[in-house]
Chains A and B, each alone.
Chain A
């Protein structure tokens, strides 16, 4: 059982708390997160996350390769939302090198990112539901996610690790018929979301499991630096697509859903609504996408200016994903740091799960929507 807190030898019944290793091989830690828990029966008294099981030294890898070769590495950080990582990195490099993306490339990027947002949220919903014991939404979500991955494959030839953006523009133009497929998907996606919602939103068991669980007050969320749906679920209106528009988001209409109760259920509602809004953005993009170049004019020799540093961030599916790059006058970044939203959200986990039940822990891990590839990098 557990180590006794007191110094004197405990009898069997003095032991109040038990130490429980939750992970790294556990079905619902979404990867290789390890939580050291102190539990009193089923109630969690302390939670200590231990990370690093998926550390691959990505940030160091960035320092070894020229700017253009690093895009595939960004795929592998948040491996279920590769396009947004690509965009965040490319955006930072473009800022560093002073490139400006042509409008058509911007639209393509936004479409890819919104598709990616939907697919990431779908995966989140699927795993969150299966954590809380509902098995079927998993398959319903994956059916639609599969269609999105097909679209990705049509565009860039990969389904998961896309490598679909380059600093300065897009490597490929859209294939013929892609826009129609995309519009078709966006048009029928709403009905699919209705189906997931029919299984979950009003279900009393789902509500009992999520309402009032993992309450994250807005002040706390801001203190931790949490962003994305976690923050908006707490009612803070902060979406980089609106507040600091990048690419062509200022030309598109969409709403930013906000939660009121700061709990798991509200975050669920926020993310579901975000999926609908993303579909809306997709429809607009299909209508508005201009013709033209997809790659900006690039100098023959690509070099950063000496001793420059940039930080550029975008709104990823999990929150603000940002790249901080220092250039030293060569074609290779001198230092590259990633502001990974999952990593920052994870910091709030011990506070969220304190004095909840073990079953809630699973729900809360689910709602934070962390990807360990991004946490550990």
Chain B
């Protein structure tokens, strides 16, 4: 009955009612929104977030510095004679990362030859926004090693 079919199509607005039906069904479906500051999404294990550095493990090879596609890692080191062992060792003077420009590609972590890695991004920390452009985002060695919880939002800021 193509004639009846085309009549139905044309005048009964079935297509429109079908669409209305779909939206109406969804009216009662479970909501998918995550209520952000109260409920947080747990990042996956491989999530590339904020850096962490372990100076002890670092062998000062500067591969991370060379692997960085946008050159935001700054490393200075010098040799120093260890008093106890009497051997010459490399000592880090500076290990800075300009996180502002970082694109979290993870190449520095991938290049790191130590096992386990001396620099890694799988810290599941992703809240790096700050109110000030120069705030918190040029990170030096101490901070890379010792940051506890980022970001340091106060309760008022969340509210």
Interface of A toward B, CB cutoff 8 Å: 65, 68-73, 75-76, 136, 140, 143, 146, 150, 153-158, 161, 163, 171-172, 175, 195, 198-200, 202-205
Q: Which residues of B64-93 have CB atoms within 8 Å of chain A's CB atoms? A: 67-69
In the complex, identify which listed stretch (B16-24, B51-59, B138-146) lies at the interface while the others stay far away: B16-24
B48, CB-defined interface residue at 8 Å: yes
Please state if B46 and A155 are interface contacts (CB–CB under 8 Å): yes
Return the contact of B44 from the options A72, A154, A199, A200 (Cβ within 8 A).
A154
B105, CB-defined interface residue at 8 Å: yes
Report Cα–Cα, A72/B23, bound state, in Å.
40
Return the contact of B48 from the options A73, A154, A157, A204 (Cβ within 8 A).
A157
Report Cα–Cα, A140/B19, bound state, in Å.
13
How many A-B residue contacts, CB cutoff 8 Å?
A: 71
- Measured between beta carbons, the chain B residues less than 8 angstroms from A155 are 46
Report Cα–Cα, A75/B19, bound state, in Å.
36
Contact residue range for chain B?
Answer: 20 to 34
- Measured between beta carbons, the chain B residues less than 8 angstroms from A72 are 69, 103, 105, 107
> Known contacts being A70-B69, A153-B46, A156-B46, is A163 close to B15, with CB within 8 Å?
no
Please state if A158 and B16 are interface contacts (CB–CB under 8 Å): no
Report Cα–Cα, A207/B44, bound state, in Å.
41
- Measured between beta carbons, the chain B residues less than 8 angstroms from A143 are 32
Q: Which chain A residue lies CB-closest to B21?
A: A198
Most buried by B among A76, A163, A175, A203: A163
Report Cα–Cα, A140/B29, bound state, in Å.
12
Report Cα–Cα, A81/B138, bound state, in Å.
30
Report Cα–Cα, A68/B63, bound state, in Å.
13
Question: What 1/0 flags go to B83-112 for Cβ under 8 Å of A?
Answer: 000000000000000000001111100100
- Measured between beta carbons, the chain B residues less than 8 angstroms from A69 are 67-69, 107
- Measured between beta carbons, the chain B residues less than 8 angstroms from A200 are 19
Q: Which chain A residue lies CB-closest to B121?
A: A157
Interface of B toward A, CB cutoff 8 Å: 13, 15-16, 18-19, 21-23, 26, 32, 43-48, 67-69, 103-107, 110, 121-122
- Measured between beta carbons, the chain B residues less than 8 angstroms from A68 are 67, 107
- Measured between beta carbons, the chain A residues less than 8 angstroms from B26 are 136, 140
Please state if B69 and A157 are interface contacts (CB–CB under 8 Å): no
- Measured between beta carbons, the chain B residues less than 8 angstroms from A172 are 46
Q: Which chain A residue lies CB-closest to B105?
A: A72
Return the contact of A203 from the options B16, B45, B48, B104 (Cβ within 8 A).
B16
User: A272: shortest Cβ distance to chain B, in Å?
Assistant: 15
Report Cα–Cα, A140/B69, bound state, in Å.
37
Please state if B45 and A175 are interface contacts (CB–CB under 8 Å): yes
> Known contacts being A72-B107, A73-B69, A163-B106, is A199 close to B46, with CB within 8 Å?
no
Please state if A153 and B47 are interface contacts (CB–CB under 8 Å): yes
